[in-house]
Amino acid sequence: MNTATGTSTITSTSTMIHEKDLHTTTMRSAGQLIKRSLINTRRLPSAFIPTLAMPIFNMVSFSGTFFALTKLPGFPTDRSINWFMPLGLAMGSAFSGVGLGFSLIRDLENGFYDRLRMSPTSRISLIVGPVLATWIRVTLVAIFVFIVGGLLGARPTAGVLSYVCSLVAALGISTIGAGWGLGLAFRFQDMRGAAIMQLSIFLTMFMSTAQVPLNVMTGWLHAVARINPITNIFRLSRSGWVNESSTGYMSWSNAYGGLIAITVLSVLSLIFAVRSLQKIDK
């Protein structure tokens, strides 16, 4: 009995120590992977610059080319840059996220990932680390986009909350993109996955209110965009950039849909990434 109790105590203590160690290892490994990712950004600016340039290009070209859209009755803002800046940011964030999948494919192909898997690294850290590094990069991209957008005439209509909502939406989209990109990279383990990553993100983004609001759309796109959860994320992102008189202006009813979409899609995509990683291990 005593022996049994003793054994149980030892097992329980060892489990506690083990869990504590595991937690520390996960955070430490994730921290190292964040560091590696950020060092890579500094050492390989050519890989980061497109992520920075893409939202700017999107914002500038769309707001210039489609400037006349703001003259349509019911268009929620009279500044085209206010409408297209969140789109540029969202596109940049999505591609920052799926960009993780590209770097993972490179790591898988050159054998670096096998070395990580052979080391006693926590499996979760292989996902948490890169996702957190993406958040840091997306925040940098967002600051840059806000500055350039401001210089080009973008004006918030809800003060600091305008920036906060756009940033939350950008971080959410990057998490969804990261989970999806990592999952596909684990499944395909080669560049076939990259094509699917880009195409799927591109189509999902554009079949929403990316370009015009729902009340301006016609035909099939209206039906698709209405049920596309990305539409809710765009509503959140733009709520502080549309006119105060617009129905899309900053309010809880315009925000919660986006927050739910971000949470649900992020959880689903990260589960997909974890499951795909487990499949490799098997």
Residue 57 in the binding site for another protein (CB under 8 A):
yes
Q: Given the rule CB under 8 A, which of 108-116, 118-126, 131-139, 213-221 is the region that contacts another protein? A: 213-221
Residue 218 in the binding site for another protein (CB under 8 A):
yes
Q: Which C-beta is closer to another protein: that of 87 or that of 182?
A: 87
For residue 1, give the amino acid letter: M
Task: Write the DSSP string, 127-187.
Answer: HHHHHHHHHHHHHHHHHHHHHHHHHTT---SSTHHHHHHHHHHHHHHHHHHHHHHHHHHHH
CB atoms within 10 A of CB 142: 21
Q: Which C-beta is closer to another protein: that of 128 or that of 242?
A: 242
Residue 152 in the binding site for another protein (CB under 8 A):
no
Residue 68 in the binding site for another protein (CB under 8 A):
yes
Q: Which of 67, 115, 136, 264 binds another protein (CB under 8 A)?
A: 67
Residue 87 in the binding site for another protein (CB under 8 A):
no
For residue 134, give the amino acid letter: T
What does the angle CA 128 – CA 142 – CA 242 come to, to the nearest 5 degrees?
125
d(CA 237, CA 99) in angstroms, rounded, equals: 21
DSSP collapsed to 3 states, 226-237: HHCHHHHHHHHH
Q: Which C-beta is closer to another protein: that of 224 or that of 260?
A: 224
Q: Which C-beta is closer to another protein: that of 220 or that of 252?
A: 220
Q: Which of 212, 233, 250, 262 binds another protein (CB under 8 A)?
A: 212
Both tokens of 93, joined, read: 């964030």
Residue 219 in the binding site for another protein (CB under 8 A):
yes
CB atoms within 10 A of CB 70: 16
Q: Which C-beta is closer to another protein: that of 17 or that of 72?
A: 72
Contact 59, 84 (CB under 8 A): yes
Q: Given the rule CB under 8 A, which of 65-73, 116-124, 161-169, 238-246 is the region that contacts another protein? A: 65-73
Both tokens of 67, joined, read: 């400037």
Residue 207 in the binding site for another protein (CB under 8 A):
yes
CB atoms within 10 A of CB 124: 18
Contact 81, 107 (CB under 8 A): no
d(CA 41, CA 34) in angstroms, rounded, equals: 11
Residue 111 in the binding site for another protein (CB under 8 A):
no
Residue 59 in the binding site for another protein (CB under 8 A):
no
Q: Which of 41, 47, 66, 112 binds another protein (CB under 8 A)?
A: 66
Q: Which of 168, 196, 216, 274 binds another protein (CB under 8 A)?
A: 216
Residues that bind another protein (CB under 8 A): 50, 57, 61-62, 64-69, 71-72, 203, 206-207, 211-212, 216-222
